[in-house]
Structure formats: C-alpha cells, structure tokens
Amino acid sequence: MIHKAKAILIITVSLWGLIGAVQNVIDWNGTIGAVGAVTSMSTIQGGKESWQATDSTIVILAGAFFIVASKLVSASLCAIGGFKMWQAQQSDIKAYKQAKELALTGCAIAIFMLFGGFIVIAESWFELWRSQTMLGPVLQSAFRYAGMITLIAIFVSSKE
C-alpha cells in the first residue's frame, strides 16, 4: 500500500508542475508581467531606483522561461517516475528504486526552481520580501509549494 501512496504523491507533484506550466503559458503576459514586476522592483517603495532593479527583456524572459521549463521538466520526470513506481511496486524492486530516483530528481528540480528562483533570486536579490503586494501570492506560495514537495520527496525517499 505504501508503494501506491508514494507513486500517487509523486503524480501530484507532476500535476502541480504541469498545471502550473500550462497556466504560465496560457497567461504568458501575466507571467512576463509578474517576473517584470519582480526584476524591476516596481512593487517596492523606491525599488525602481535600486541598483539591482532591471527592466531588461532578456532577464525577464529568462526568468519566465526558467519557471516554465523547470515546471515542465519536473512534471515530466515525476510523471515518468511515478508511473514506473506504480508499475513496478513490489514485483521488481530494482526497477522501483530506479523509478523512485527519477521521481525524486523531478522533485529536486521543482525545489531548485522554487528555492533558487523565488527565494534566492526574487526574494533575496530583488528584495521581494519588501513587497506587500507580492509577499503572499508569490513568496508564501513558493515556500508552501517547496515545503510540500520537499515533504513528499522525504517521504518517497524513505525506506518502505
């Protein structure tokens, strides 16, 4: 039963990445706008005048593509790993462990994007922590997602 639970949790991480990436692409202008608001520091009093603030199209597009690509790669690895975990379960423990490793790599990519992109770059470099407008919708969400994916990864990596 625990094998099934682990596979299902990994599939939910995959769905999170897929749904998030699709939403980012469907609302591409919103995605670009949000990344632009972060990099320009426009939601922070005096932020636009800060030395690290930028309106560079290349930086904004790189940030948006990083988010979408990370979610898609994470979703793909978790989907493949989760389905292979489901198939192998107890019949082929070696295949199950390999599938688990693939799924955990997908989780690691999601955590890297959320921590590296949102916490290190957006919050620390672009001082998003000072923005009352984006604190909840962006940083608290990123922290919540990273925390849940990390908990799932810890649970999945534990011995059965």
Instruction: Convert the pLDDT of each residue in 21-78 to its tens digit.
Output: 999 999 999 999 999 999 999 999 998 999 999 999 999 999 999 999 999 999 999 9
- For residue 89, name the pLDDT band (cuts at 50, 70, 90): confident
| pLDDT the model gives residue 143 | 94
- For residue 93, name the pLDDT band (cuts at 50, 70, 90): confident
Residue with tokens 């706008």: 33
The dihedrals phi and psi of 128, each to the nearest 5 degrees, come to -60, -20
Terminal-residue alpha carbon distance, the chain: 10
Of 79, 70, 74, the C-alpha closest to 11 is 79
| pTM of structure | 0.92
Contact 14, 104 (CB under 8 A): no
